[in-house]
Structure 1
Amino acid sequence: MTSLARLNEPAPEFEALTTQGKLKLGDFRGKWVVLFSHPADFTPVCSTEFGSFASRAEEFEARNVQLIGLSVDGVQAHLAWIRDIENVFGHKVTFPVIADLDMKVSTAYGMIHPGASTTAAVRAVFVIDDKGIMRAMIYYPMNVGRNISEILRVVDALQTSDKHGVSTPADWTPGENVVVAPPAIADAVETPEQAKEKGYEYKTWYLRTKSL
């Protein structure tokens, strides 16, 4: 089945059994959601990722983000694995983990890639905004762990762009200059002097940045 998850469209709704009971995506309307999948419980790379997500859960909470994990393993396996992660990494897993045994959520979100595995969800991250719109999708191969700082950076960039109507450049982090929208008509093209008067840093006519 083709993924129904597309950028800037409503994220596929789902109802699923998790380590915290049944939940629906719609339950989190008003909050941002980071939905992330992992291939299997009790695997080394996935365990390091869950330990890292757990250690930084408060940073996501501070951004009004709900973390939700997922794999095609059952709830009992998830519960046992979570306890193991807490023992190994010293951080409690406070977010729900979906038991996607029927692979309905994985299929709707395009997490099943036959070239990688026909029975396990690949490493994927979906950032869904507080209105239920898909804003970012990131895929990783089975043997490469995710960078949690980058996921937080993506959330920061999206929230900053929404709040201020700007874009963010490569390698941007909070506090750095943001990108001003380029002119849409010839009469709006500014000289370096005009851009400076507005408080912009002028690179070229289509690339100007400013501080917030």
Structure 2
Amino acid sequence: MEQLEQTMQVQSLPRIGEKAPDFTAKTTHGELSLSAYKGKWVVLFSHPADFTPVCTSEFVAFQEVYDRLLGMNTELIGLSIDSVSSHIAWVRNIEENFNTTIDFPIIADLDQQVATKYGMIMPESDGTETSRAVFVIDDKQTIRALIYYPLSTGRNMEEIVRLVKALRTTDDHEVSTPANWEPGDKVIVKPPQTKEEANERMNNSEYECIDWYFCKKELK
């Protein structure tokens, strides 16, 4: 029975392209629902536990990029299965010891309802801590990306910011972004669908083509 429950939990993990599971939860900013953020992008992340060193370093780093995310119409929401009181005590400790005020909300998921919906607790876990998961949810509340990190490895916030920028660029310009893409770099255009279109593209000075299927261009 236990193995079946674990299998069901794995099968219920949200996937890219699926609707983000809605929730209503208590946070350090009061009660909030994911549905209230419709029209905004959301970076929802979980951390193992309050008052732990790697998580503390991450919260300081998340706060450092928070204004940049807000500038992209993107909200940041943290989560662990600690209580609101624990969260409040921890963010006050961070402010005192690291001179950093945590401005984004942190969900107190004591009943593990949100963590279970998002698969933030690994089946092999003893159920007392959430993994380092990151979900990027777009303004239509569709899951666009997800990343999992081991408990021992802190996240790279610049990569999370880059990921949001890349996804928004894809939406705005109907293009893809190559490996190591940064804003201002050339983007990849969709492959041509006909032989005639392939021939035309190879002779179009707007594109930088290595071959007919691999062409880049600058965004204007």
TM over 0.5: yes
The residue type paired with residue 163 of structure 1 is: D
Percent identity, please: 51
Supply the distance in 2 between the matched residues of 1:206 and 1:195 (Cα, whole angstroms): 14
Q: What are structure 1's unaligned runs of at least 5 residues?
A: none
The one of 201, 209, 212 equivalent to 2:216 is: 209
User: What TM-score does the superposition give when structure 1 sets the normalisation length?
Assistant: 0.95
The residue type paired with residue 32 of structure 1 is: W
Supply the distance in 2 between the matched residues of 1:211 and 1:154 (Cα, whole angstroms): 19
Is 2:185 aligned against 1:151?
no
Supply the distance in 1 between the matched residues of 2:149 and 2:57 (Cα, whole angstroms): 15
Counterpart for residue 188 of structure 1: 197
SS of the equivalent of 2:82 reads coil
Supply the distance in 2 between the matched residues of 1:208 and 1:152 (Cα, whole angstroms): 25
Counterpart for residue 85 of structure 2: 76
Supply the distance in 2 between the matched residues of 1:106 and 1:120 (Cα, whole angstroms): 10
Is 2:18 aligned against 1:14?
no
Supply the distance in 1 between the matched residues of 2:199 and 2:96 (Cα, whole angstroms): 59
Shift of 1:91: 1.7
Which runs of 4 or more aligned residues in structure 1 lie more than 3 Å from their structure 2 counterparts after TM superposition? none
The residue type paired with residue 123 of structure 2 is: P
Q: What are structure 2's unaligned runs of at least 5 residues?
A: 1-8
User: What TM-score does the superposition give when structure 2 sets the normalisation length?
Assistant: 0.92
Counterpart for residue 53 of structure 1: 62
The one of 126, 129, 138 equivalent to 1:129 is: 138
SS of the equivalent of 2:139 reads coil
Deviation string for 1:153-188 (max 9, x for gaps)? Answer: 000000001000000000000000000000123332
